[in-house]
Structures are given as structure tokens and as C-alpha cells.
Amino acid sequence: MANPNINSPASCYGNNAQVSLSTTTETQLMSNAANSGKLFLVDSIILTNVSAAAVNVYVTMWNAATNTGTSTRLAHNVAMAAGTTLVVSNKSHNVNLKETQSIYCTATVANAVTCTAFWKEFT
């Protein structure tokens, strides 16, 4: 199915997700499955360093529902001091997540960062 027209959607729901990066490998923050019939209008992606150590972070958008295929970095090797917050995307610079796309987050230190996303799902 094609992406829905957000000017006259059948439905629009607010959604959010939060993940803790418990490893130093990529962790899925959100995914829009193939043939979902949905478009995700991502209002914000916020990373928070909850540790006492500095950490570097990455946020990657993939052209697959998993972390395979072609990727685009939304944040690349960004240094975060202990206790700081990084706004990767906001309403002024939002991201559209189409069918068969996903967003993953990575940190260089395990258990140091939480990632939160807020979005609207259009069908």
C-alpha cells in the first residue's frame, strides 16, 4: 500500500516509544512495517545520557523495517557529556518514516543512554 495522504487521513494517532541502550550495538527505537498502510510523522527524538560518563551516540534511519539495507545518519558520533540531553529531531525538523523504514540508536557505552521518540501515525 502507498503512504497515506496526511491532508485527509482515515485516522491519526499519537504514539511514543522509549528504549534504554543496554548494549553498544544498534537498538531499534521504532519501525514502520512493510504494507502497514501507515506514515509516521516523527515529532521528536530525544537522547538522554543517564550515566556519570561521557558517551558518543548515533541515530540511524534505515530503508528497511530492520537495520539492513541503506542507511542515513540522523546523528553521527555526537559526544554527550554526563547528564545531558540531545534533541535529534523536533517539530521544526521532523522526520517522515514511511512503510518499510526504521530508526535505530547506538551508544558507545552500555546502559548510559535512553532514547525517546514521539510521533503521529497516519492511516
Q: What pLDDT digit, counting tens, does each position of 24-48 carry?
A: 999 999 999 999 999 999 999 999 9
State the CATH architecture for 12-122: Sandwich (2.60)
3-state secondary structure 54-77: CEEEEEEEECCCCCCCCEEEEEEE
**What is the pLDDT at residue 1?**
52
**What is the pLDDT at residue 28?**
98
The C-alpha cell at 21 is: 541502550
**What is the pLDDT at residue 91?**
86
Of 27, 91, 80, the residue nearest 49 (C-alpha): 80
0.95 exceeded by the pTM?
no
Q: How many angstroms separate the CA atoms of 24 and 107, rounded?
A: 6
For residue 114, what pLDDT band results from cuts at 50, 70 and 90? Answer: very high
Query: How many CA atoms within 13 Å lie on the side-chain side of 104?
Result: 20
Least confident of 12-26, 50-64, 82-96: 82-96
For residue 2, what pLDDT band results from cuts at 50, 70 and 90? Answer: low
Q: Which has the higher per-residue pLDDT, 97 or 7?
A: 97
Handedness of CA 95, 101, 107, 113 (dihedral sign): positive
